[in-house]
Amino acid sequence: MLQRKGQGTGLRRRAIRWMLLTVAVIAVGAAAAYPTSDWMRKPMNDAARAELLREGKARQFVRTPHGTMHVRVSGPENGPVVLLVHGGHVGGYVFEKWQRPLADAGYRVVVPDLLGQGYSERPNVPYTKEFYVAQLNELLNRLGISERVNLLGASLGGGIAIAFAGAHPDRIISLNLIAPEGGGEDGERVNDLLLLPAIGDWIFRVPGPRILQGMMADANNDNPSAQRGMVAWMQEQTRYRGYGDGILNSIRNTLSNHGLSWQPDALEAIGRSGVPVIAIWGTKDMIVPFAHSRELQSRIPQLQLVPLSGQGHAINFGREANLLSFILPFLDRVNKSGDESRGEAPKKESAAQELDARQVLTQKP
């Protein structure tokens, strides 16, 4: 009996040792994966940029004090400028199907990859609201664009657009928002683990790029063509070093701790300016709740709100024609006719007009 008891104790000890050894091996492997996973990717440097230009993947690179930015510019040089600011994770690729319709309508279209994403440089600096505003302002300067621009931002880009308009109201003709980040608490809060040093860094550097690829694919699961394009693009931009670090940097400095929060004085300055503003929002958005639109309405009296009944956050994926069917007429009114082109507040839309717009925008592409 004592022998059996001793054998049982020995087995338990050996099992515990094996479990501890397994945990240690996993920990060592995870630790080793952290520095090597990113260094196995290609650096985004001058050689990479030259290769991208030769292959026709990249359009134009612009050096700014904050880093070298990739930008797509199309349309007539003398056309009103439309600056499109993308959200998190995707880069300017998300506006790929916006460029030709806007250019064909006579607009000069500027679509940058924000620093840290796409083919832009991935500098190791805090990606704060001020950092994003400064890089856009400098990009316009480097492109020689001194006239006022129509600014459009989606999700994270919408929050950046609001911050830019508040900081540089003299540079804005119109403000176009698609479910902009920054109003109150997000519907799906950032996992606290991602904010922890070491743990969040490991998650985003090692499995993070693949996880984000899956998330972007899921956002397009009702549109196979858009899904294939998004998966291919996510694989492309994550080939380059620093992508996961940049996304985590942005989350820590803008999407958490109210880093991108709308400043009341900025919203009120936009309201006083009379700059035409449109906001398109899914009523079932779980990332940036539709309820956030109330603050914009209360502080920007000229805001034209377009609710998309039953739609979620990813309204810009695979539904470009729907959004453009409302954005283009709005831009045309602002830039090509009437009082709005002189910066006066637009006339308030009637409930019937708003309903018609909503019906158009919620149709399947």
Q: How far is CA 18 from CA 6, 14, 26, 174, 277, in A?
A: 18, 6, 12, 64, 63
Q: Is 39 exposed, middle or buried (0-12, 13-18, 19+ CB in 10 A)?
A: exposed
Contacts of 210 (CB under 8 A, 6+ apart): 238
Residues 23, 170: one domain? no
Residues 188, 254: one domain? yes
Residues 71, 28: one domain? no
Residues 19, 114: one domain? no
Residues 33, 64: one domain? no
12 or 244, greater pLDDT:
244
Which residue range(s) make up the domain with 21? Answer: 1-40
Per-residue pLDDT tens digits for 250-280? 777 776 655 677 888 889 999 999 999 999 9
Rounded to 5°, angle at Cα 327 from 120 and 296: 85
If pLDDT is split at 50, 70 and 90, which confidence band does 220 have?
A: low
pLDDT above 50 for 52: yes
Structure tokens belonging to residue 333: 């009114």
Residues 32, 50: one domain? no
Structure tokens belonging to residue 102: 């806007």
Q: Report the distance separating Cα 179 and Cα 77, nearest Å.
A: 29
Residues 163, 215: one domain? yes
Residues 345, 309: one domain? yes
Residues 32, 175: one domain? no
Per-residue pLDDT tens digits for 136-184? 999 999 999 999 999 999 999 999 999 999 999 999 999 999 999 887 6
Residues 50, 36: one domain? no
Residues 236, 167: one domain? yes
Q: What's the pLDDT score for residue 343?
A: 39
358 or 37, greater pLDDT:
37
Number of independent structural domains in the chain: 2
Tell me the CATH number at 346.
3.40.50.1820
Q: What's the pLDDT score for residue 110?
A: 99
3-state helix, strand, coil in the chain (%, to 5): 50, 15, 35
Residues 31, 53: one domain? no
